[in-house]
């Protein structure tokens, strides 16, 4: 009995859950603080483009604004419409927040120790990392559909229908772009995707110290742009924020939501946006790898490079929000199905052919 305790119960029922809980908390708490500053940065950048000041009252330079907002949302009264389907109405924001946090489990944020063994800082280093990402992020659409339907109101419902169409359309092109990257990597593991960008075009061109050329953004350049635009559409960011187009649908699927339920939706939205920045960083910008093979750069921990790239991509997200006007729904559908889908499908065939006929496949 004692043996059974030490061989089965202790490692599998007690120790592993405790360890994984600590690991997850150590990941999720900094992640949520990062989200607070992503929201702050989004507002500041948008304000700067429009020659406004943005949040500047709470804390120095308004740095604590997001926390003040959070406290405000938490202490407001949640209003649940009497005509709504209460269970589903409460479920929708929970799905939005839960799914967008869960998907971060497979994101590697820094090189492992020792670095050579193909390890990384990641909560769950699973074989099918990319498929996990696609699977979990395909659940995000349910938060919007259920939220829109359960509100029992016209604007949220119209918004939910728009959103379902939009997210499904752009998942297709995102899938194909990821396939082109996977063709170059030969593995579905997120850590392997980053490590595959250690060698590549720079060595081939004869400038091995310029490791920035090794990353997949250069050999797969059109796909980098396609993925960026699809990521905007997938996360309902402007110029594709049709589900919550405030000039037509008031606030889209969130019209009936208030207080902490609304906050969960916003949290889910910004988590998804930041997640897409992290995906672009991993797939196209070499994850935690330094941009040049210089001693000082190699000493800096990988997490710094990862965050620097993530913030750079997010800056582009924020700038697009600030200066691109919103698309009309038919233009959005045309872009997804008639431009991106054929282009990414062609690139899958082209990349596969090049790898096959020049014998470069990993």
- Of 167 and 266, nearer to other proteins (C-beta) is 167
- Of 2 and 295, nearer to other proteins (C-beta) is 2
Rounded Cα distance between 214 and 5, Å, is 50
Rounded Cα distance between 73 and 54, Å, is 19
Residue 141, interface with other proteins (CB under 8 A)?
A: yes
Residue 324, interface with other proteins (CB under 8 A)?
A: no
Residue 25, interface with other proteins (CB under 8 A)?
A: no
Stretch that binds other proteins, among 103-111, 113-121, 285-293, 328-336 (CB under 8 A): 328-336
What's the closest the beta carbon of residue 220 comes to other proteins, in angstroms?
A: 21
- What lies within 8 Å, CB to CB, of 75 at 6+ separation is 259
Using CB under 8 A, pick the residue from 41, 139, 307, 355 that binds other proteins: 139
In degrees and rounded to multiples of 5, residue 142 shows phi and psi of: -65, -35
Using CB under 8 A, pick the residue from 330, 357, 358, 359 that binds other proteins: 330
200, 214 contact by CB (below 8 A): yes
Specify whether the backbone of 252 is left (phi greater than 0), alpha (psi in -120 to 50) or beta.
Answer: left
Residue 202-241 contact track with other proteins, rule CB under 8 A, x = bound: ----------------------------------------
- Of 7 and 199, nearer to other proteins (C-beta) is 7
Specify whether the backbone of 188 is left (phi greater than 0), alpha (psi in -120 to 50) or beta.
Answer: alpha
Say whether 120 sits in a helix, a strand or coil.
Answer: strand
Q: Is 74 exposed, middle or buried (0-12, 13-18, 19+ CB in 10 A)?
A: exposed
270, 35 contact by CB (below 8 A): yes
Using CB under 8 A, pick the residue from 23, 56, 119, 138 that binds other proteins: 138
Rounded Cα distance between 361 and 285, Å, is 20
Q: How many residues bind other proteins (CB under 8 A)?
A: 28
Residue 101, interface with other proteins (CB under 8 A)?
A: no
Residue 64, interface with other proteins (CB under 8 A)?
A: no
What's the closest the beta carbon of residue 160 comes to other proteins, in angstroms?
A: 8
Binding to other proteins, residues 258-287 (CB under 8 A): none
Residue 127, interface with other proteins (CB under 8 A)?
A: yes
């Amino acid at each position: 009995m004692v043996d059974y305790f030490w061989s089965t119960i202790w490692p599998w029922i007690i120790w592993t859950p405790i360890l994984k809980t600590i690991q997850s908390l150590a990941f999720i708490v900094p992640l949520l603080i990062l989200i607070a500053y992503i929201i702050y940065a989004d507002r500041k950048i948008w304000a700067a483009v429009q020659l406004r000041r943005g949040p500047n009252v709470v804390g120095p330079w308004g740095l604590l604004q997001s926390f003040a907002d959070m406290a405000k949302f938490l202490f407001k009264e949640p209003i649940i419409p009497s005509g709504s389907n209460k269970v589903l109405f409460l479920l929708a924001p929970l799905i939005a927040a839960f799914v967008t946090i869960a998907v971060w489990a497979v994101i590697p944020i820094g090189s492992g120790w020792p670095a050579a063994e193909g390890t990384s800082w990641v909560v769950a280093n699973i074989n099918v990392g990319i498929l996990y990402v696609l699977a979990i992020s395909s659940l995000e659409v349910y938060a919007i559909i259920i939220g829109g339907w359960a509100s029992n109101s016209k604007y949220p419902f119209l918004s939910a229908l728009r959103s379902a169409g939009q997210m499904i359309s752009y998942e297709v092109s995102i899938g194909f772009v990821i396939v082109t990257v996977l063709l170059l990597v030969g593995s579905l593991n997120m850590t392997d995707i980053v490590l595959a960008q250690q060698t590549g075009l720079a060595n081939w061109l004869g400038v091995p110290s310029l490791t920035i050329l090794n990353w997949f953004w250069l050999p797969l350049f059109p796909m980098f742009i396609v993925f960026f635009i699809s990521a905007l559409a997938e996360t309902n960011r402007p110029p594709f924020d049709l589900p919550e187009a405030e000039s037509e649908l008031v606030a889209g699927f969130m019209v009936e939501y208030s207080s902490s339920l609304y906050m969960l939706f916003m949290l889910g939205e910004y988590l998804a946006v930041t997640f897409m920045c992290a995906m672009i960083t991993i797939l196209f910008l070499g994850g935690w790898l330094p941009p040049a093979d210089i001693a000082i750069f190699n000493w800096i921990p990988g997490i710094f490079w990862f965050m620097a790239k993530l913030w750079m991509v997010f800056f582009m997200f924020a700038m697009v929000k600030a200066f691109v006007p919103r698309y009309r729904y038919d233009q959005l559908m045309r872009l997804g199905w008639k431009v991106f889908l054929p282009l990414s499908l062609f690139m899958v065939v082209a990349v596969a052919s090049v790898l096959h006929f020049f014998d470069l496949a990993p």
